[in-house]
């Protein structure tokens, strides 16, 4: 009779859980593991090195302050931190955009139509992001984990296969099927609001 396997958390999750218990050395491990990834995410969104550094630093402070709220049953530590970084970066872009719009309207430049288009684009982007994350949470756990590792964690398919202790072909199939399901779910949610 096979014995049930106990699934140990990945090293990042283990470090984050220890950090939540107040272990500062564990948080240093978390920072070393994800600091570069967090900066990369924020840079892709804000497109400015100085602001990306600030947002990455703010994100890591937020991770430290809120790591006790991390729930490994809802997803990986890497995805949780990556999502936090993305949200902070998007907030920074929105804040900068709003400040530019205020400055423009204060000086009497620009048009309401341009602002409306920009607001619509921001709302559409926000809705699509929420739809993607909602769809991601509906995926079977193995598919969700594979997507998190490949797309949020920046791992290659071979890395994902090794981390999930699965054959490369199985891993590729999981990711392909997960992407298909995500596309269907997100497209369906966009059709519902049209």
- Greater confidence (189 vs 181) lies with 181
pLDDT of residue 6: 47
Q: How confident is the model at residue 7 (pLDDT cuts 50, 70, 90)?
A: low
Label residue 48 by pLDDT band (50, 70, 90). Answer: confident
Lowest mean pLDDT among 36-45, 89-98, 136-145, 183-192: 183-192
Gap between the Cα atoms of 119 and 133, Å rounded = 21
pLDDT at position 186: 75
Percent of the chain surpassing pLDDT 90: 37
User: 131-164 pLDDT, tens per residue?
Assistant: 777 788 888 989 988 888 877 767 788 888 998 9
What are the residue ranges of CATH 1.10.10.10 in the chain? 120-194
Dig out the tokens for 70 from the structure. 């991390």
Q: Which pLDDT value is given to residue 135?
A: 81
pLDDT at 115 over 60: no
- Angstrom CA distances, 169 to 146, 160, 166, 173, stand at 12, 11, 8, 6
If you average pLDDT over every residue of the chain, what do you get? 80
Choices 1.10.1740.10, 1.10.10.10, 3.10.180.10, 3.40.50.1820: CATH for 10-104: 1.10.1740.10
- Please state which of the four CATH numbers 1.20.970.10, 1.10.10.10, 3.40.50.620, 3.20.20.240 is assigned to the domain occupying 120-194: 1.10.10.10
- pLDDT at position 15: 95
pLDDT digits (tens, 9 = 90+) for 57-110: 999 989 998 999 999 998 899 999 999 999 999 888 888 765 566 555 544 544
Distances (CA, A) of 68 to 10, 64, 118, 156, 187: 17, 8, 37, 30, 35
Between CA 66 and CA 20 the distance in angstroms is 8
**For the chain, what is the largest distance between any 2 Cα atoms, rounded to a whole number of angstroms?**
77
pLDDT of res. 4: 45
Question: Which residues make up the CATH 1.10.1740.10 domain(s) of the chain?
Answer: 10-104
């Amino acid at each position: 009779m096979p014995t049930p396997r106990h699934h140990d958390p990945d090293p990042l999750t283990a470090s984050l859980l220890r950090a939540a218990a107040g272990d500062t050395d564990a948080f240093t491990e978390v920072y070393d593991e994800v600091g570069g990834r967090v900066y990369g995410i924020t840079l892709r969104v804000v497109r400015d090195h100085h602001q990306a550094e600030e947002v990455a630093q703010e994100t890591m402070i937020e991770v430290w302050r809120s790591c006790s709220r991390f729930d490994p049953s809802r997803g990986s530590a890497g995805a949780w931190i990556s999502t936090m970084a993305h949200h902070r970066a998007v907030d920074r872009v929105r804040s900068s955009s709003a400040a530019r719009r205020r400055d423009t309207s204060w000086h009497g430049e620009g048009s309401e139509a341009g602002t409306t288009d920009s607001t619509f684009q921001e709302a559409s982007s926000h809705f699509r992001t929420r739809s993607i994350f909602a769809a991601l949470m509906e995926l079977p756990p193995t598919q969700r984990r594979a997507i998190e590792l490949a797309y949020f964690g920046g791992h290659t398919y071979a890395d994902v296969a090794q981390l999930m202790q699965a054959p490369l072909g199985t891993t590729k199939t999981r990711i392909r099927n997960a992407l298909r399901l995500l596309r269907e779910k997100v497209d369906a949610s966009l059709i519902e609001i049209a």
